[in-house]
């Protein structure tokens, strides 16, 4: 496991990219990102996975199309929240893109209603109590609002 703080930023070197590519090529099925990260000092398993996904795939970075939304809905119905499997089914979106789009836009449990005055007061109190822990605030006070919507409020 990496010992670096998650808030530190360090550019990937060509040597690290090469080592990452070598390690990933050894796998035929599921990639062990933890084992891969142990060979890349100062990189977490998530760093390695994200770098691989970013550099080795040609992900669509534009707005989601209706076709992509349909494929995402179908993939979630089949694979649940296994975002790597969902991403493979969607085809041109990363696992992180799929998860974020679902949790901030398409999840049918999300409220699309205008914020009420009581909700605003609850949010202010929650921020005073918990700070900017949006995920905690969402789970505890606003289960039908997306974390992004709460943070942007």
Arithmetic mean of pLDDT, 109-134 = 94
This prediction's pTM? 0.64
Task: Say if 4 falls within a structural domain.
Answer: no
Give the rounded percent of residues in the chain with a pLDDT score beyond 90: 55
- The structure tokens 């891969």 sit at 36
Arithmetic mean of pLDDT, 18-32 = 85
Arithmetic mean of pLDDT, 117-145 = 94
Task: Say if 6 falls within a structural domain.
Answer: no
- Domain check: are 34 and 52 in the same one? yes
Give the residue numbers spanning the domain of 42.
Answer: 14-56
Per-residue DSSP letters for 29-52? Answer: SS--HHHHHHHSTT--HHHHHHHH
86: its two tokens? 């969902």
- Domain check: are 123 and 97 in the same one? no
- Domain check: are 20 and 39 in the same one? yes
Arithmetic mean of pLDDT, 78-94 = 89
For the chain, give the mean pLDDT.
88
Task: Say if 139 falls within a structural domain.
Answer: yes
Task: Say if 29 falls within a structural domain.
Answer: yes
Task: Say if 1 falls within a structural domain.
Answer: no
Task: Say if 8 falls within a structural domain.
Answer: no
- Domain check: are 72 and 101 in the same one? yes
Residues 6+ apart with CB under 8 A from 28: none
42, 4 contact by CB (below 8 A): yes
Domain count along the chain:
3
4 pLDDT exceeds 60? no
Task: Say if 9 falls within a structural domain.
Answer: no
44, 2 contact by CB (below 8 A): yes
How many whole angstroms separate alpha carbon 45 and alpha carbon 38? 8
pLDDT in tens, 89-116: 998 898 889 999 998 899 999 988 999 9
Integer distance in angstroms from the first to the last C-alpha of the chain? 35
């Amino acid at each position: 496991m990496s010992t670096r703080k998650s808030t530190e930023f360090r550019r990937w070197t060509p040597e690290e990219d090469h080592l990452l590519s070598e390690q990933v090529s050894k796998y035929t099925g599921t990639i062990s990102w933890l084992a891969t990260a142990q060979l890349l000092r100062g990189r977490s398993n998530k760093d390695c996975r994200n770098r691989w996904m970013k550099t080795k795939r040609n992900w669509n970075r534009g707005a989601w199309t209706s076709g992509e939304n349909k494929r995402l809905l179908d993939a979630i119905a089949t694979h649940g929240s296994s975002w790597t499997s969902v991403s493979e089914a969607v085809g041109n979106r990363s696992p992180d893109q799929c998860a974020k789009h679902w949790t901030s836009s398409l999840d049918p449990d999300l409220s699309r209603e205008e914020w009420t005055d009581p909700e605003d007061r609850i949010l202010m109190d929650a921020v005073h109590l918990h700070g900017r822990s949006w995920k905690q605030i969402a789970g505890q006070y606003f289960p039908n609002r997306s974390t992004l919507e709460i943070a942007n409020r």
